[in-house]
Structure 1
């Protein structure tokens, strides 16, 4: 059962100042609480074999290497759009009713309150598997049973890039030029108060829809 957020006890520095806890308990039931968390490698352990299986099946369908590669890139492109739309309009939707606010907190609000919680930086399988199955069925209805496999391969690889990037920008010290840029891009979303920068693994749709925020955000993010 959902219980709001029971924070762990704050710790103290040697100088006596309190340090904000890095996580919270959302569910009374231990099993549900456990499955609300995920090791960062778990999405890769589950989804990479599934994507590889779809690759084998696509090869057996004799789509052709160039056409297959094009469909993979099409799926990857679709993911970038889905990432933007889901993050902006689903994860950040806070309705007026208490149950809507609870759903928002479970889906994404907890991450903004506790952005360094390493167990909640990637999607738990209990969320990503049903969502992935739903997208697979949608793509199958749109492009048919033969073309769906390479399209979903690209979509799935895009999702893994999202999860991996999200974990990295919150947990790793990024040293490459791209790493530093994409980390700052996401930190602007978290820490400046601007309703901007909804793309996590790619800024593409932020540029398209004009949601990069004000230029000064790069100096304060």
Structure 2
């Protein structure tokens, strides 16, 4: 037992300091690619969005209609973000492999929320996801409308990654920054099944998942 004023041993200090990260995979290469520098999504996806923007200029869609489609794509992202976070990332099945998948997808973030290498999607996850959504939009909307829709969708995704990194790492001073940080911290720390939107609370309002009245005051 340690008494007030007694020196704390190094071993005791190590036990009291919670680790900020963990190893998920035994294979070093896979473990490395499970992590991502926060700038990587922007380095990869901004040129893709810019290319689609240049290509969209040559399409038959006018300027105002194109901007409307970009905004529609942004709104679609906020809905996809809500759905993925609420029903995929937080799904914990009864089988051990399902619990393992949950931990890899999202559980590790709730256990180690300050792990700066796991606050944005690694490219190994975001590239297949982005390609899948692009093909889905092309199938549903055709080759003319898909580019402006995906531009908005991609910018929404980057806003999500940037917001998520910022609320966990920066001292946000703007009114919106303080609000969105509190919004996400309530999701992390109150134990409520609420506040699934990260970059936007719009669908939490739509589906009534803002949480208790006490939390809504913040």
Which category of TM-score, normalised to the shorter sequence, fits these structures?
over 0.9
Q: What does residue range 1-221 of structure 1 map to in structure 2 within 5 Å?
A: 18-217=16-215
Contact 1:112 1:190 survives alignment (8 Å): yes
Q: 1:101 to 1:15 in 2, by over 3 A?
A: closer
Give 3-state SS (helix, strand or coil) of 1:216's partner: helix
CA RMSD of aligned residues (A): 1.8
Cα shift at 1:24? 0.3
Q: Which has the higher strand share?
A: 1
Structure 2 regions of 5+ residues with no counterpart? Answer: 1-8
Instruction: For residue 24 of structure 2, give the secondary structure of its aligned residue in structure 1.
Output: strand
- Structure of higher RCO (CA pairs closer than 8 Å, 6+ residues apart): 2
Name the counterpart of 2:3: none
Task: Tell me the alpha carbon deviations over residues 106-143 of structure 1, each in whole angstroms, 9 at most, x when there is no partner.
Answer: 00000000000000000000000000000000000111
Q: SS of the residue aligned with 1:61?
A: coil
Contact 2:120 2:161 (C-alpha < 8 Å) held by counterparts:
yes
Q: CA deviation at 1:215?
A: 1.9
**3-state secondary structure, aligned to 2:173:** coil
Separation (CA, whole Å) in 2 of partners of 1:31 and 1:16:
28
Distance 1:106 1:17, change over 3 A: closer
Aligned length: 210
TM-score (norm 2): 0.93
Change (3 A) 1:89 1:16: closer
Q: TM-score by structure 1 length?
A: 0.91
The structure that has the greater radius of gyration is 2
Q: Which structure 1 residue ranges, 4+ long, deviate > 4 Å from structure 2?
A: 11-17
